[in-house]
């Protein structure tokens, strides 16, 4: 954990300690009951199996369907059996997913705390063998609610202190994220109550599990089809489709639109001197710099190799020049250091505007690409606006000062 900031290390230590303390207290104070080995084995087996099938959302959030079985376990199992299900399901996951030890330890501690507190919410003042009724249903619902809220809160705090991502930006406590896990918790609580009435009905309760898994996977699969795997930016298929739609809209409503092309300078030297893995790392860092520089509604894509494209709806030519210069400066601020030797990272950026430089996606990209070559011809690491006459003398383009940008040699 040495690579983590001190607040993150303190927080992890606190979570580990609370989980251990809750486990000891819950086990020592639990009422002695005859263990139901059948339900314990079933929940342990299902939780362990389902834990291996995680779903990543387009916002890089991960869903585990084990929430269903951990909530059911909080209602049906003893503390020892519940903790065993949490620990075993996560340890089996390590057979095919290598995490740093403290990441998986935090996941175990997180679910242990949430599960044991949910169990207290369900069992306090209530006989373990009570028949299902309105009171028991409310307790089961409260147990599921507490489980999800605790689980998400603990996760949000570790993201805040370990990765320095604000809670709102992380999305862990978003309505969408909470709603998904609350639905899973409700299904788990329902399955547990149905088990007490008639175990043969439980498969009917869990049948929607397949549909839930598929519905969670669809957005991720759609995102994969639109995304370049190396950089996480859009791929050119998605870019071309979006560009065609935006050009059609801009033409019908006479709205401004611009396209940028950015080409990484001297990547060959980086590959030859440091190797292709180092070159790939540079490409990823440049993609991240472009993502930081563009506006929220712009679409950045990897054009191929070391080239990138940016679609800028509702963007006048001066607006596009400002963003292009911001991209150039973001990339220039990167540094690539190895063995004490610093290697500069720069890009040349070309700007094309609709309909002045083209009325189709292909024409605009070609115009922006020609502007990139003009930028490279004048020394690289600069921004050029497309000029149809290749012999035209470059003229200075001023960047508006209202966006906190400094003037730089951006030529037309």
Domain boundary among 169, 200, 225: 225
Domain that holds residue 175: 6-225
Q: Does residue 357 belong to any structural domain of this protein?
A: yes
**pLDDT value of position 45:** 84
Mean pLDDT computed over every residue of the chain: 82
Percent of the residues in the chain that have a pLDDT greater than 90, as a whole number: 41
Residue 306 within a domain: yes
Least confident of 228-237, 272-281, 399-408: 399-408
Number of domains in the chain: 2
Whether residues 210 and 156 fall in one domain: yes
User: Do 216 and 93 share a structural domain?
Assistant: yes
Tens digits of per-residue pLDDT, 170-199? 778 888 788 888 988 999 999 998 988 888
Q: How far is CA 406 from the centre of its chain?
A: 33
Whole-angstrom CA distances from 239 to 65, 108, 288, 307, 361 are 33, 41, 17, 13, 9
- Nearest 5°: the CA angle 171, 177, 180 is 175
In a domain, 146, yes or no: yes
Could you tell me the CATH number of the domain that includes residue 14?
1.10.1760.20
Does any domain span residue 230? Answer: no
pLDDT > 80? residue 371 = yes
Query: What pTM did the predictor assign?
Result: 0.58
Residues 293 and 269 in one domain: yes
Residue 1, in any domain of the structure = no
The CB density around residue 309, as the number of other CB atoms within 10 Å, is 27
- Which CATH number does the domain housing residue 259 bear? 3.30.70.270
Edge to edge, what strands does the sheet with 307-313 contain?
A: 299-304, 307-313, 257-264, 347-354, 383-385, 410-411, 396-397
Q: Which of 225, 244, 270 is the last residue of a domain?
A: 225
Domain final residue, candidates 190, 205, 225? 225
Give the CA distances from residue 188 to residues 2, 40, 112, in Å, rounded to whole numbers and listed in that order.
Answer: 38, 14, 16
Query: What are 189's two structure tokens?
Result: 């609580």
């Amino acid at each position: 954990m040495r690579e983590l900031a001190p607040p993150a290390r303190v927080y992890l230590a606190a979570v580990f300690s609370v989980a251990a303390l809750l486990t000891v207290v819950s086990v020592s104070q639990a009422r002695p009951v005859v263990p139901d080995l059948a339900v314990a084995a079933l929940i342990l087996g299902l939780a362990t199996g389902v834990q291996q099938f995680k779903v990543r959302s387009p916002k890089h959030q991960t869903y585990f369907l084990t929430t269903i079985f951990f909530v059911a376990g909080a209602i049906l199992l003893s503390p020892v059996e519940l903790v065993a299900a949490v620990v075993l399901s996560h340890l089996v996951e390590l057979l095919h997913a290598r995490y740093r030890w403290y990441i998986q330890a935090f996941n175990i501690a997180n679910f242990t705390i949430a599960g044991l507190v949910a169990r207290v919410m369900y069992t306090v003042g209530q006989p373990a063998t009570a028949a299902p009724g309105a009171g028991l249903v409310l307790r089961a619902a409260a147990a599921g609610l507490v489980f999800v809220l605790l689980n998400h809160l603990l996760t949000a705090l570790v993201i805040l202190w370990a990765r320095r991502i604000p809670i709102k930006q992380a999305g862990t406590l978003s309505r969408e994220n909470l709603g998904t896990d609350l639905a899973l918790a409700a299904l788990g609580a329902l399955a547990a109550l149905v088990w007490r009435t008639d175990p043969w009905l439980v498969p009917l309760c869990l049948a929607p599990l397949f549909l839930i898994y598929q519905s969670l996977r669809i957005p991720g699969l759609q995102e994969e089809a639109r995304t370049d795997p190396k950089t996480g930016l859009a791929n050119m298929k998605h870019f071309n489709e979006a560009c065609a739609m935006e050009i059609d809209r801009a033409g019908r409503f006479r709205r401004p639109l611009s396209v940028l092309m950015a080409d990484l300078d001297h990547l060959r030297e980086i590959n030859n001197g440091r190797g292709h893995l180092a070159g790939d790392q540079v490409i990823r860092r440049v993609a991240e710099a472009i993502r930081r520089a563009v506006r929220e509604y712009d679409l950045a894509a990897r054009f191929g190799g070391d080239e990138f494209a940016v679609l800028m709806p509702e963007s006048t030519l001066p607006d596009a020049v400002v963003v292009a210069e911001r991209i150039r400066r973001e990339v220039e601020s990167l540094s690539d250091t190895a063995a004490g030797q610093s290697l500069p990272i720069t890009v040349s950026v070309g700007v094309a505007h609709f309909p002045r430089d083209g009325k189709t996606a292909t024409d605009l990209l070609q115009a922006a690409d020609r502007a990139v070559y003009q930028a490279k011809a004048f020394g690289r690491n600069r921004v050029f606006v497309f000029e149809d006459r290749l012999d035209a003398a470059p003229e200075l383009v001023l960047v508006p000062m209202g966006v906190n940008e400094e003037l730089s040699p951006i030529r037309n």
